[in-house]
Amino acid sequence: MKFGYQTITWGGVVGHPGGVTSIKDLFYMTHGDTQAAIRDIASVGYQGVEVFDGNLAEFADKAEELLSVLSETNTELVSVYTGANFIYDEILDDELYKIEQAATLAKKFGASRIVLGGGAKRPDGPKADDFKKVGRGLDMAADIARKHGLESSYHPHLGTISETLDGFHQIMDSCSIGFCPDTAHLTLSGIDPVAAIDRYGDRLKHIHFKDVSKKTGNFTPLGEGDIDFKEILSAIKRANYDSWLMVELDSYEGDPKKAAEISKRYLEQLFAN
């Protein structure tokens, strides 16, 4: 397996300001220096990175600036993360347009995967057909990714329509897109990541390794929280997955590079046993 790292820790996640008025431009972004993040990640020893669609959009008209950093650090842009708000029929075309933009950028910068996360959550709870709408949208997004030569996967996320066991299963069972487990978001949603990987192992296409303290709910570098990664790794092996493990840390009070180092040491110990 190869180890990669998400650039989110360098600035945290924000929304693209254009998306306030235009859904078609509602990209995720890390409010930090993407080039500096890639250099830090590479210096720690990770071989690949994942970025948000909005951070790629920043380089759409100056591609060489990002491509040169990837080349300089011998780092692969593995995956691009975008949203999956499919429950509102009236904005479906705009949402799919945004995903088309994300897939176009991903291909342009050499990524091989696109990850679709979460999904909108209604204030009064999901309607009867919302889960099927998410599944339908995910398969439409998978078709877009396939057209661009990209693999695609769905990433359940706390605070979204997928944050319950029943909702998660309804979504996954209503579509055929690949599965990207996020070990911490599944855990915080009350979903056993081992059971999830065992159930959908034949669809495992990407993985987010993330640790969390169950007591505080705070995300931590790998090994400093309560996630049992040994059991998760066993489930991954049962699924015959042998590809990228993307480490992710949504927020960190200290130096993000230091957090990446802590997680890298933990991974080395985990795979040495």
Contacts with 10 (C-beta within 8 Å, 6 or more apart), sequence order: 30, 32, 33, 34, 36, 37, 40, 256
User: By the 8 A CB rule, do 24 and 97 touch?
Assistant: yes
DSSP string, 75-136: -EEEEEEEE---S-GGGHHHHHHHHHHHHHHHHHTT--EEEEE-----TT---TTHHHHHHH
Quote the pLDDT of residue 226: 96
pLDDT of residue 174: 97
The helices-and-strands tally (H runs, E runs) of the chain is 10, 12
Q: What is the pLDDT along the chain (273 residues), one digit of tens a residue?
A: 999 999 999 988 777 776 666 777 778 888 889 999 999 999 999 999 999 999 999 999 999 999 999 999 999 999 999 998 899 999 999 999 999 999 999 999 999 999 999 888 899 999 989 999 999 999 999 999 999 999 999 999 988 999 999 999 999 999 999 999 999 999 999 999 999 999 999 999 999 999 999 899 999 999 999 999 999 999 999 999 999 999 999 999 999 999 999 999 999 999 997
The pTM for the full model equals 0.94
DSSP tag of 17: G
pLDDT score of 273? 74
pLDDT at 189: 93
pLDDT at 256: 97
